[in-house]
Amino acid sequence: MHYSGTTFRPPFEANSLLLQVTKGCSHNACTFCSMYRTVRFDVSPFSEVEQDIAEAAMLRQDATRVFLENGDAFCLPADHLLKVADMIHHALPNVRGIAGYARIQNIASKTDEELESLAHAGFKGWNIGLESGLDDVLSFMSKGYDAAEARTQLLRLRQAGLAFSVNIIIAAAGPNRMEEHAAANAAIVNDVQPYLVFVSPLHVDPGTPLEGMLARGEFVESGLGQYIDEEMMFLRQLEMDDCIFFGTHISNPVGVAGRLPADKQALLDALQEGKDEYPREMLDSHPTKGAEGLIVSAN
């Protein structure tokens, strides 16, 4: 199988067959992200993808799900993705779902008819880095869209029957705006109704623009206890029809997972119990030393 450098996938895709169709990320500019900083974006040739699918057919005939790598594979044109789906289904007849990472702009670049065609071809479960429901936070994170555009595009996915999950970054607005951030995040997630919500706290990776902002005092970092508090604020306000709440990333201070709405109170109880087990000095500590939080310009 062909892979260009380190390959990333969501924790809940642990059993999926990983298939590289792009190299790097087409955006590669998010303030907090270090995943593909040193990888030049490129598209894998069909011949390479076909070879990898043939190899997978020999080794993973039992595969039921394929996760497309790397970066935002949904940036590929619809006809390109449909050709990849045809190759997958021909060689791996047990596959029932094809997914990958996606950006809001990837959705906007496709027509309603193309989204419906992708849904019919078995694409479902795209993992989308929504990150925040606040416009200034999205701008600070260099996401390239605002909350209204995100809501519009995610609703288009729902209308097309193309299931998706969203990532929410806890504490991305800093410790002084926890309630505001939690409410905005819950509002947009309630509107778009993903099948899964993946929550993890903001962490400062070496080599990212965020690291420099932290060192210069341009960003206020939340403490460990505030991470948990904001996650609970967010969870309390979620009104989901049927959704997996997934918060077991290695960066989550208290790992929890369950299904909403049935498990909401159990999840809240587990978060509170987990918080209560931490020594006070740890709850007050910052994962990264330095800084004084997100400073938003009035201009």
Structural domain boundaries of the chain?
Answer: 1-124, 128-299
Distances (CA, A) of 219 to 3, 53, 65, 209, 290: 35, 44, 39, 11, 9
Q: Could you write out the three-class secondary structure of 113-175?
A: HHHHHHHHCCECCEEEEEECCCHHHHHHCCCCCCHHHHHHHHHHHHHHCCCEEEEEEECCCCH
Q: Provide mean pLDDT across the span 70-94.
A: 95
**pLDDT tens digits, 84-99:** 999 999 999 999 999 9
The CATH classification number of 1-124 equals 3.20.20.70
Residue with tokens 């939340």: 222
First to last CA, the chain: 49
**Fold identical between 1-124 and 128-299?**
no
pLDDT at 289: 41
Which of helix, strand or coil describes residue 281?
helix
pLDDT at 288: 53
Q: Provide mean pLDDT across the span 7-14.
A: 82
**pLDDT tens digits, 225-238:** 999 999 999 999 99
Q: Are 271 and 235 in contact (CB under 8 A)?
A: yes
Q: Chain-wide mean pLDDT for the chain?
A: 90
pLDDT at 5: 66
Tell whether the model's pLDDT for residue 286 goes beyond 80: no
Fold of 128-299: Transcription Regulator spoIIAA (3.30.750)
Beta bridge partners of 258: 245
DSSP 293: B
Beta bridge partners of 126: 164
